[in-house]
Amino acid sequence: AESFSAERGGRPGAARLLLVVTDGESHDGEELPAALAECERRNITRYAIAVLGHYLRRQQDPEDFIREIKFIASDPDEKYFFNVTDEAALNDIVDALGDRIFSLEGTREDNESAFELEMSQIGFSIHLLEDGILFGMVGAYDWEGGVLEESRRGRIIPPREAFQGEFPLELKNHAAYLGYSVSSLRLPGGQRLLVAGAPRFQHKGKVLLFQLDPAGTVTVTQTLMGEQIGSYFGSEVLALDLEGDGATDLLLVAAPTYLGGQSREAGKVYLYRVGQDRLSPAGSLHPEARPQDSRFGSALGAVPDLGQDGLAGAVVGAPLEDGHRGALYVFHGAPGTLVPRHKQRIEAAALGWNLRYFGISVDGRMDMDGDGLVDVAVGAQGAAVVLRSRRIVRVSVGVSVEPGAISVTRRNCQRGGSGAVCLRARICFRAGTRSRSPGDMDIDLRYNVSLEERIPGSRAAFDSGSRRLLQRRIELPLGRQSCIRVPFHVLDTSDYLRPLGLTLSWALDEATGPVLDEASPTSLRKLIPFFKDCGEDDECVSDLVLRASADIAGSRQSPHVLRKGRRRMLVRVELENREENAYNASLWLRLSGNLHFSSLVLQDPGAVKLECSALGGHRWRCSVGYPVFRSHAKVSFTLELEFSCSVLLDRAEVTLEAT
């Protein structure tokens, strides 16, 4: 009896009903008379059901048991007492018991089980209209459901017959739950349609689009049907105006108990594109693809200007994900539609609280913190969480290098005690937002500058002491450009074919502040060419002419006899470049086995640099004019070779080759 007290929510004058279902006698029967007297005093109607299975299976006499249950039931017994042979037989009395319970609520006398608006549950769902409110009434008309409009036109309640064409009596479609969700949309021509979901219609669900006149006449323009039994198609609907022009672009319809892989309650959200006079299917939204109970679509919410690009987005609740902890999915708008792949998944486990069923409800229409961005409120079991939107920032970067090319021949500075080519990079950052009025704020930008960091070998280094990588940060005011200069130098290298690469990468340094625009780049690579002085086409075409003569004349057919005491021979060499600059020019020397390199004497040591090194196997390589053998330059030298012994020589060979 305490359950019906005012402290527990009891209302004076309301009917009070107690239902007792049991399969055995009580153990505190001595308290029954006092308890039943209190029930009589409080006018509590008592239905009692005796399940006899336990007694029958053991062949025991149920007489005392039945007597006690009849004692509990209100009088007369034939109306308030039931007995069944076993537990499964309880189904047989549900309808009869339901009719008798319903009659307590004041249904019509000629049909005590036929309801009109007595169980309507007005306000189960609501939707704000331009001039009023649309209410859903899932319990109206035997839970067939209905709607109610309260507006300047007055209160309009369509009668049962208004939806008879969609819920014909011959289908016995009680409990369709029309009004479980309600909304409205506006067609491109300006016509307004009301929307109501009936998620239990024929067990698959149905959504009605209709017009309602002041007399309560309903004109259904289109219906949308669910595809899977038990999916609760239409339990949530959302009309989405992407561009904010007053015309609805999309209708979202949720089926949160849609079975996916491994018979999990994955849920599904359907998209319908709004045309001139009809809606057409436009695919569905894609949550995380893993088999788990999710109930994706348990809550739908529109978020204006979610991507800060002038287009609305949508948020979708999935309260059963991660073992009933829950998650929220964020979808961005695109011209005429939603991007079906989610942009963000916010899981309850990442928020740091012990939340359950996070995503059971959602709303995103208010700016709670006054920063000009809409925020999203998400419901959970016994809690609500407000998620703050983050400003989306675009960072544009420009890099220039002075001088614009690296000279191969001219050293303009000293580094490490030797000549080098010094350059200076100018890096400029500018940050902006998609928002029309971002306000005054600075962002903390973290950036890295690297010189061929991932390439083996080192051709350049920063002047700051860091060889190939700088890691820095900068306070960047929105809307204004900030520049920094980074000096570096090029080391002595023989690789002039590949340009020198300078790479810049950047990221925001705030975990809870603005975020970088996904569509904007976060790195830039600047290629700095080497200046080779090769004309307008920047291609060097050289012509190396090699001349050589020895102080011993002869041929391979005529062997030479050396005079006693002579063990050396001289080779005079001249190499000339008759065309454009030659880079990394080399002179190759190969000797036969009876000759040995002794010395090399330049005729003009200051004209062209010549450096030779042994390669083994009587081979030598000489770099000519490193790094560049200039156009029309000439180098002359004398090569002294030593014989192995004073014997008759056959095929003493000296081979010279310039490349």
Q: CATH number for the domain including 549?
A: 2.60.40.1510
User: How far, in Å, CA of 357 to CA of 350, rounded?
Assistant: 14
Q: Average pLDDT over the chain, rounded to whole?
A: 85
User: Looking at the structure, do residues 184 and 309 belong to the same domain, yes or no?
Assistant: no
User: How far, in Å, CA of 417 to CA of 362, rounded?
Assistant: 68
User: How far, in Å, CA of 207 to CA of 97, rounded?
Assistant: 31
Note whether residue 537 is domain-resident. Answer: no
pLDDT digits (tens, 9 = 90+) for 503-539: 999 998 777 778 888 878 899 999 888 776 676 676 7
Q: Residue 648 — very low, low, confident or very high, per pLDDT cuts 50/70/90?
A: very low
Note whether residue 630 is domain-resident. Answer: yes
Average the pLDDT over each of 78-92, 253-267, 317-331 and give the range with the smallest value: 78-92
The reported pTM is 0.67
User: How far, in Å, CA of 222 to CA of 211, rounded?
Assistant: 10
Containing structural domain, residue 60: 2-105
pLDDT digits (tens, 9 = 90+) for 327-344: 999 999 999 899 999 999
Cα 91–Cα 96–Cα 99 angle in degrees, nearest 5: 130
Residue 315 confidence (pLDDT) above 90: yes
Note whether residue 607 is domain-resident. Answer: yes
Domain boundary among 531, 557, 576: 531
Backbone angles phi, psi at 135, to 5 degrees: -105, 145
User: Looking at the structure, do residues 252 and 382 belong to the same domain, yes or no?
Assistant: yes
Nearest Cα to Cα of residue 72 among 34, 98, 108:
34
Find the mean pLDDT for residues 298-314: 91
Residue 364 confidence (pLDDT) above 50: yes
Which amino acid, one-letter code, is at 163?
F
Residue 554: predicted pLDDT: 53
Residue 218 confidence (pLDDT) above 90: yes
Q: Do the bridges between strand 392-402 and strand 146-151 make them parallel or antiparallel, or are there none, so unpaired?
A: unpaired
Nearest Cα to Cα of residue 580 among 626, 548, 636, 532:
532
Q: Residue 112 — very low, low, confident or very high, per pLDDT cuts 50/70/90?
A: very low
Domain boundary among 508, 531, 554: 531
Nearest Cα to Cα of residue 182 among 127, 120, 254:
127
Using the CB atoms, write b or e for 19-32: b if 16+ within 10 Å.
Answer: eeeebeeeeeeeee
Q: Do the bridges between strand 515-516 and strand 392-402 make them parallel or antiparallel, or are there none, so unpaired?
A: parallel
- What's the token pair of residue 457? 């070998």
Note whether residue 640 is domain-resident. Answer: yes
Note whether residue 110 is domain-resident. Answer: no
User: Looking at the structure, do residues 403 and 504 belong to the same domain, yes or no?
Assistant: yes
User: Looking at the structure, do residues 250 and 376 belong to the same domain, yes or no?
Assistant: yes
User: Looking at the structure, do residues 337 and 239 belong to the same domain, yes or no?
Assistant: yes
Find the mean pLDDT for residues 169-188: 85
Q: CATH number for the domain including 519?
A: 2.60.40.1460
- What's the token pair of residue 630? 């200039």
* Helix, coil or strand: residue 330: strand
User: Looking at the structure, do residues 411 and 339 belong to the same domain, yes or no?
Assistant: no
9: left (phi over 0), alpha (psi -120 to 50) or beta: left
User: Looking at the structure, do residues 187 and 153 belong to the same domain, yes or no?
Assistant: yes
User: Looking at the structure, do residues 360 and 453 belong to the same domain, yes or no?
Assistant: no
Which amino acid, one-letter code, is at 409?
T
Note whether residue 582 is domain-resident. Answer: yes
Nearest Cα to Cα of residue 254 among 224, 292, 276, 211:
224
User: How far, in Å, CA of 603 to CA of 486, rounded?
Assistant: 45
Q: How far is CA 122 from CA 200, 237, 316, 382, 524, in A?
A: 18, 18, 25, 24, 60
- Which range of 221-225, 290-294, 546-550 scores highest in mean pLDDT? It is 221-225
User: Looking at the structure, do residues 132 and 73 belong to the same domain, yes or no?
Assistant: no
Strand order in the sheet with 313-318: 299-303, 313-318, 327-331, 344-347
Which amino acid, one-letter code, is at 171?
L
Q: Can you tell me which residue has the tokens 């450009």? A: 481
User: Looking at the structure, do residues 196 and 275 belong to the same domain, yes or no?
Assistant: no
Residue 102: predicted pLDDT: 59
Q: How far is CA 492 from CA 413, 420, 593, 659, in A?
A: 12, 7, 36, 21
Note whether residue 138 is domain-resident. Answer: yes
Residue 560 confidence (pLDDT) above 60: no
Q: CATH number for the domain including 65?
A: 3.40.50.410
pLDDT digits (tens, 9 = 90+) for 44-60: 888 888 888 888 888 88
- Give the count of domains, the chain: 5
Q: CATH number for the domain including 331?
A: 2.130.10.130
Domain boundary among 333, 359, 389: 389
pLDDT digits (tens, 9 = 90+) for 536-559: 676 778 888 888 888 876 555 555
SS (H, E, C) 430-480: EEEECCCCCCCCEEEEEEEEEECCCCCCCCEEECCCCCCEEEEEEEEEECC
Residues above pLDDT 70, as percent of the chain: 88
Count of helix runs (H) and strand runs (E) in the chain: 7, 46
Average the pLDDT over each of 121-135, 171-185, 292-306 and give the range with the smallest value: 171-185
Alpha helices for 243-401 (secondary structure H): 321-324
- What's the token pair of residue 494? 């023989």
Note whether residue 538 is domain-resident. Answer: no
User: Looking at the structure, do residues 432 and 578 belong to the same domain, yes or no?
Assistant: no
User: Looking at the structure, do residues 224 and 356 belong to the same domain, yes or no?
Assistant: no
- What's the token pair of residue 659? 């490349």
